[in-house]
Structure 1
């Protein structure tokens, strides 16, 4: 079986009106996207494979159904450790005030720590990186979902002081691997348009077969 990575780009107003995001979707079966689950796997012969180019969108990228070999990590666990970074997969040692500071530093609104705690309690998978010298989080991402078909990745952030050294990619590679190992076939996330290029090298493409995501908008409802 092959897995198709899809991006659906759609400007979405968030809590702050000046910020717009795009909805990115990773899925293994086009028949499941916004159409419901099917009862049998997609015939491999029906999967379309196109070479990826930066200028040809929309497009589909076919990759192995199994996560790539760990040798394909952009930064190995050992290299991260040698640079003073510790990978964490549980919120046990995560200081929520320090995490909030990272959120604010990248432009997120400050969040109620109690609500962050509830969000983490309802998170299916998370991965964060602690800087050993300060014992503070410097990169973070988490995912929620039904544990079988669907997952949404949230809060992919890197402390501005540590951006540009591959920590964001390191977090995404490992979180994505964990979701795929669980057999989850549809994975989505929101992204500002200016960083869509960060996700494309991971296999995402735009608007498969013209399918676009939709998000509930209170503003749109008020117009009726």
Structure 2
């Protein structure tokens, strides 16, 4: 399998992509990879769910598999409460339009209590981003619920290579979902160009 170059830009509160973190690369970044052949477009993903849609519904949660109707401002608030940077709302809306999304809604108010998205080419590769659970709802298995459905949807599309970045403290969570550190030792790399220089730099994560 070809070496993958994974980009992890950091977003400022203003929603502007910056590469300042590359000057002091974070140590708490690991690349986890799930490499399994997809079942082919339209085929059954054949992944079991630890909690069914019906059970989630009985607990007051609605499963949403598109970004349609999501309260983007509320999503930004969840990002902030879990320590993620806020995004410019219009840019976030555009990102959601180009992502496969799974989120859980409570009380029918369009406010996400758990959220995950993936971006990619829709065929071969996908990268998982922004897996969050509203702090007051953590510990109930909602993060696993959205991730299982996101992976299920990607595999139903036939996507064979699903990757993500994870801090060491949550690697165990993703291992429960069959993610693993890349056995070939493939490292993520981030590209940036200094504003004061015509040269580019590449940092290994």
Q: Do both proteins adopt the same fold according to a TM-score greater than 0.5, normalized to the shorter chain?
A: yes
CA pair 222-166 structure 1, distance change in 2 beyond 3 A? closer
SS in 2 for 1:216: strand
Aligned equivalent of 1:21, options 20, 29, 51: 29
Give the helix-richer structure, 1 or 2. 1
Distance 1:118 1:190 in 2: 22
Distance 2:145 2:180 in 1: 20
SS in 1 for 2:179: coil
| Contact 2:102–2:150 (CA under 8 A) maintained in structure 1 | yes
CA pair 106-117 structure 1, distance change in 2 beyond 3 A? same
| Contact 2:103–2:112 (CA under 8 A) maintained in structure 1 | yes
SS in 2 for 1:104: helix
Unaligned 5+ runs, structure 2? 13-20, 38-42, 195-199
Q: TM-score, normalising length from structure 2?
A: 0.75
Unaligned 5+ runs, structure 1? 1-7, 30-64
Q: CA deviation at 1:179?
A: 0.4
Distance 2:146 2:123 in 1: 21
Q: CA deviation at 1:217?
A: 5.3
Q: Please provide the CA RMSD for this pair.
A: 2.8
Aligned equivalent of 1:126, options 94, 101, 105: 101
Q: TM-score, normalising length from structure 1?
A: 0.69
Q: CA deviation at 1:21?
A: 2.5
SS in 1 for 2:184: helix
